[in-house]
Chains A and B, each alone.
Chain A
Amino acid sequence: MGLVRKPASAPPEEAVPEKPSVQTLLQQVHDDDPELRREAALSLVEVTEAVPVLLARVGVETEARVRDAVLTTLAAHDTATVAAGLAVHLASDEASLRTAVAEALATMPGSALDLMPDLLAAPDHDVRVMTAMILADLPHPDAKTWLLRMIADDPHPNVVTGAIDALLPAADAGDAPVLQAAVQRFPDDPFLRFTVQAALPRLTGTA
């Protein structure tokens, strides 16, 4: 049987759902339905008054996809308030939270670098390792400067090796002395020595 073209007719009028108000979205961020929470979080981008609510949600949200939505919206603000509010979670006992927060901070070139003095002085060396992860992906020309400072000054070898790993994609021959000095600071760390020895020929063109 051949196809029969339907007679042209005006499309049925569809009721356009009314866009929820900001107040409604702020309430939906706490709804029992994770999909509603996620949609609300994504709809609150560019809504400054939502920042405190979303920051409070980061630490209590149990659904990864909702937390990712919250972090995406917060990272879009890229302000000092958001950066500081996220940074506290770098010390979280929950691995998924601290890595998700580090990923979010790495997308905030306008504010993440202002955290560096505090993060590099954090007494917990794991927080400083996470800081190297942030700097590795942060699209900012000063990120390399901070990594070099970590390599030169940080007292913990795991932080230094993390910073070296983050630096290497952007490293050049001029960075070789800093790497060599790190090996001398931690002569008993086999991984650090291996990392630098593997990298130096490429940097100095002696491979």
Chain B
Amino acid sequence: MTRVLVVDDAATVRLYHTSLLQEAGFEVAEAANGLEAVEAAMTTPFDLFVVDVNMPKMNGYACVETLRSETVGTAAPVLMISTEDRPGDADRAYQAGANLYMVKPVDAERLVRVATMLTSGKGPAA
């Protein structure tokens, strides 16, 4: 089964994204900030990371940079989702190592479609 880590400090956002992805057949774990995400990624392999930007302890950009660093070294795709839609926010996400940047709120169907696409067609039930 395709494993996704949903990283967001907002409990409602985690619940929303987790529910949508689980309904679509993904196996989902959660982290409340970048630090928790990095710790989770060091012990469990994930096929996709869904990461918020503004979080305490470690923000999304720093989280993705750490996921891509030698410390974790994951090549799994990263989808960043944020309320931030200033010019340059997406560029900053891609510089950090994200594969796609989307602005909240994300339509349910689109989230599942993008998650499936980013897992290289592996799909939720693979």
Binding site for B on A (CB under 8 A): 93, 95-96, 98-99, 102-103, 125-126, 129-130, 133, 157-158, 161-162, 164-165, 168, 189-192, 194-195, 198-199
**Are A99 and B105 in contact, with the CB atoms below 8 A?**
no
B12 on the interface (CB 8 Å rule)?
Answer: yes
Cα–Cα distance between A42 and B12 once the two chains are bound (Å): 36
**Are B83 and A162 in contact, with the CB atoms below 8 A?**
yes
By secondary structure, the A interface counts as helix
**Are A191 and B54 in contact, with the CB atoms below 8 A?**
no
18 interchain pairs, CB-CB under 8 A: A95-B53, A95-B61, A95-B92, A102-B54, A126-B84, A129-B54, A129-B83, A165-B12, A168-B11, A189-B105, A191-B12, A191-B104, A194-B15, A194-B16, A194-B19, A195-B12, A195-B15, A198-B15
| Cβ < 8 Å to A, chain B residues 71-122 | 83-86, 88, 92, 104-108
Chain B residues near A93: list those with CB within 8 A.
86, 88, 92
B31 on the interface (CB 8 Å rule)?
Answer: no
Cα–Cα distance between A174 and B16 once the two chains are bound (Å): 24
